[in-house]
Amino acid sequence: MTTEAKVGAFVLGCFAILAFTIGYLVNAQLSGGTVPYRTYLRYAGGLEPGATVLFGGITAGKVTAVRPWTTDPTRIEILLEVKEGTPLNEKSVAKLGLISIMNSASLAITTGSNDAKRLPPGSSIPSQEAASLDEIAGKMATVADSANALIVQVRGELEGISGDARSLLANLNTVTGRPNQQRIQAMLDHVNGILATEGPKIDRISDQLITLTQHADDTIQNVNGTVTDVREPIRKDLAELQGTLQEAKKLLGDMQVMVRANDVKIDDTVENLRVATDNLDQLTDSLKQRPWSLIRIKQPKERKVPR
């Protein structure tokens, strides 16, 4: 045997001893002071006995059995053992997980809540279903179909947008072409000529507007002074008018009081006037029938009718 072969055999033997030692220590650590639990899933996802059990991402035990549940064959019963003292509680949830891409499936358990009640040994851990590869593939196929339809739609819209963009570029090229540039230059030259010719007139008009504005300011100040001067006499006249109206109101009140006090006398006067009017009517009728009564005192005797 050559020296290289001896060295290779020695290295392989060391690795074998190291692996055996590590496996033994792990099994001894997991087998001592463990607590059994169970959970149920509808999809085990390749989970096998001996798979790692993670509690909050920390290795806490291993799976001891994976089998269909006798009570409900549509669900998979998973038996596991965790280290004694692992704080599993009623809010903890078991679900499928992966330690890494290269490793097989594992059972991950969430930490739950510190206020939740601790689970006794042998109890069932609440579970959460994970999506299977078939479901994921189906969803990906649905998304792919939707993406294809969307790509076709976007392609049509992009073609329309490209056509509009080409039309816009053509219009811009037409607008910014040489003939339009010459027209714009001519318009600018014309505007510059107008400004050069009419500039002095515009300056004079601006000066006149400034002067007019100053006169307007002076006029407004004069009007303000006039209003201030007239305001006080008007205010005094209004005060006197208010006093006069109050006196007139008081006089009307006194007249109403006097009229109410003389209601009876006025009624007597009206009655006397009515009686005098009746007597005057009777006198008038009497004078119409016997007008001589104004001249003669005695009335003539009545004439007898001849027989």
Instruction: Write the DSSP string, the chain.
Output: --HHHHHHHHHHHHHHHHHHHHHHHHHHHHHTTEEEEEEEES--TT--TT-EEEETTEEEEEEEEEEE-SS-TTSEEEEEEEETT---BTT--EEEEES-SSS-EEEEE----TTSPBPPTTPBPPB-----HHHHHHHHHHHHHHHHHHHHHHHHHHHHHHHHHHHHHHHHHHHTSHHHHHHHHHHHHHHHHHHHHHHHHHHHHHHHHHHHHHHHHHHHHHHHHHHHHHHHHHHHHHHHHHHHHHHHHHHHHHHHHHHHHTHHHHHHHHHHHHHHHHHHHHHHHHHHH-GGGGT-SSPPPPPPPP-
| Residue 149 belongs to a domain | yes
| Residue 279 belongs to a domain | no
Give the per-residue pLDDT at 79.
95
The residue among 72, 106, 130 that closes a domain is: 130
Q: Please state the domain count of the chain.
A: 2
| Residue 188 belongs to a domain | no
C-alpha 45/C-alpha 95 separation (Å) is: 10
| Residue 48 belongs to a domain | yes
Same domain as 102, residue 66:
yes
Same domain as 154, residue 126:
no
Same domain as 123, residue 91:
yes
Same domain as 161, residue 97:
no
Give the per-residue pLDDT at 197.
81
Name the pTM for this structure.
0.38
Give the per-residue pLDDT at 99.
60
| Residue 78 belongs to a domain | yes
What sign has the CA pseudo-torsion 159, 164, 167, 172?
A: negative
The residue among 115, 130, 145 that closes a domain is: 130
Same domain as 147, residue 125:
no
| Residue 77 belongs to a domain | yes
Give the per-residue pLDDT at 305.
60
| Residue 115 belongs to a domain | yes
pLDDT by residue for the chain (307 residues), tens only, comes to 577 666 677 777 777 787 777 765 555 554 558 999 999 999 888 889 999 999 998 999 999 999 999 999 899 999 999 999 899 999 999 998 876 555 678 899 999 999 999 999 999 999 988 765 566 666 777 777 777 778 878 777 887 788 788 888 877 777 677 777 778 888 888 888 887 887 787 888 888 888 888 887 888 887 777 777 777 778 888 888 888 888 888 888 887 777 777 666 777 777 778 888 887 777 777 767 766 665 655 555 556 666 5
Same domain as 164, residue 99:
no
Same domain as 121, residue 37:
yes
| Residue 19 belongs to a domain | no
Give the per-residue pLDDT at 268.
74
C-alpha 78/C-alpha 109 separation (Å) is: 13
Range of the domain at 150: 134-176
Give the per-residue pLDDT at 280.
79
Same domain as 119, residue 75:
yes
